[in-house]
Structure 1
Amino acid sequence: MRKLSKKGKIYAAAATVALVAASGGAAYAYWSTTGSGSGAAANSAGTSPVTLHAAFAAGLAPGNSTSVTYTASNPNSSSTTVTLGTPTVTIDAAHASCDPGWFQVTASGGSTLVPAATVAGPGSAQVGTGTLTMVDLSGTSQDGCKGATVTVSVGSN
């Protein structure tokens, strides 16, 4: 074997260092891994119910109608969608001779987004409109409804 000159030794050492570095780099290039994982978090749902309100003018008499405005109050920290259900009429207990069937009530409105509560209070929105009518029953006394408190209730679908 032939002896290396000083210059040759330097080249050989440099080539060895380069080969080791390249081999190490190649090892990194061929490393691979497999694995899996998952994560979970619970979605926050409102814990308080959204409250629906029906507002209409007083003074309904047989044969008359009045407009009804439906609103919703949302005390929760996230917005929610409300779609009105079928409204019903009830009469206060002191006026038992006033038949709720003498009243017709409607509710219309699509799905309405009711905003989340803020520091200032619950979020609110108008969610629909309708009509409340006291049917005129000719020949039937409806005096039992004089002074009665008529309540319109509605739920959300």
Structure 2
Amino acid sequence: MRKFSKKGKVYAAAATLALVAASGGAAYAFWTNTGSGVGSGASGTNVAITVNQTGVVTGLEPGGAPQTLSGKFTNPNTSPVYVTSVTASIASVTKGGAVAVGCDATDFTLANATMGVGHEVASGTNVDSWSGATIAFNNKTSNQDACKDVTVNFAYSSN
């Protein structure tokens, strides 16, 4: 076995340090691998809007002029919703809080009951508008005193 001189040991140490310094002081190694995974995203939902009648209908009389129904929407959602149309119907005819006797929906004509909207309605209370249906008191050949002081109650739906 050969002995190194002090000078040879210094050269060997210097060469080792130079190699370590040239490589950044670290050794590199890695493995390759493959992988897979899954994820998902979910949509939200919305709640029904409310169709509000804002126009007041008063003074209906046999043979009188038709009166227009109109209103706005309450959209409680955080984003707009698309409304195609609003449909009105006569839900009941009442007198003094009870069903009217001798007066019913046949005493009235509801025309253009389906009203086109055809756009997005913003979120909020009493937003946007709808109108177009009319209500008229029919002029029958019989006595219509039973229809005095009645209230015609409407139901509204939207889609």
User: Which bin holds the TM-score, normalised by the shorter protein?
Assistant: 0.5 to 0.7
Local SS of the residue matching 1:14: helix
Alignment-derived partner of residue 108 in structure 1: 116
- Over aligned residues, Cα RMSD in angstroms? 3.5
Displacement of 1:150 = 1.0
How far apart are the structure 1 equivalents of 2:134 and 2:143? Answer: 20
Q: Is the 8 A contact 2:86 2:130 kept in 1?
A: no
How far apart are the structure 1 equivalents of 2:87 and 2:133? Answer: 12
How far apart are the structure 2 equivalents of 1:114 and 1:142? Answer: 43
Larger Rg: 2
How far apart are the structure 1 equivalents of 2:71 and 2:52? Answer: 6
How far apart are the structure 2 equivalents of 1:142 and 1:126? Answer: 38
Q: Is the 8 A contact 1:84 1:154 kept in 2?
A: no
How far apart are the structure 1 equivalents of 2:79 and 2:23? Answer: 64
How far apart are the structure 1 equivalents of 2:77 and 2:116? Answer: 27
The one-letter amino acid paired with 1:56 is V
1:78 is the counterpart of 2:84? no
The one-letter amino acid paired with 1:113 is V
TM-score (norm 1): 0.66
Gapped runs of 5+ residues in structure 2?
Answer: none
Q: How many residues align?
A: 145
Greater share of strand: 2
How far apart are the structure 2 equivalents of 1:39 and 1:138? Answer: 64
The one-letter amino acid paired with 2:118 is G
Cα distance 1:16–1:112, how it changes in 2: closer, same or farther (>3 A)? closer
Local SS of the residue matching 1:108: strand
Alignment-derived partner of residue 15 in structure 1: 19
How far apart are the structure 1 equivalents of 2:117 and 2:77? Answer: 24
Q: Is the 8 A contact 1:69 1:126 kept in 2?
A: no
TM-score (norm 2): 0.65
Runs of 4+, deviation exceeding 6 Å = none
Local SS of the residue matching 1:91: strand
Cα distance 1:147–1:135, how it changes in 2: closer, same or farther (>3 A)? closer
Displacement of 1:42 = 7.4
Alignment-derived partner of residue 102 in structure 2: 97
Cα distance 1:155–1:44, how it changes in 2: closer, same or farther (>3 A)? closer
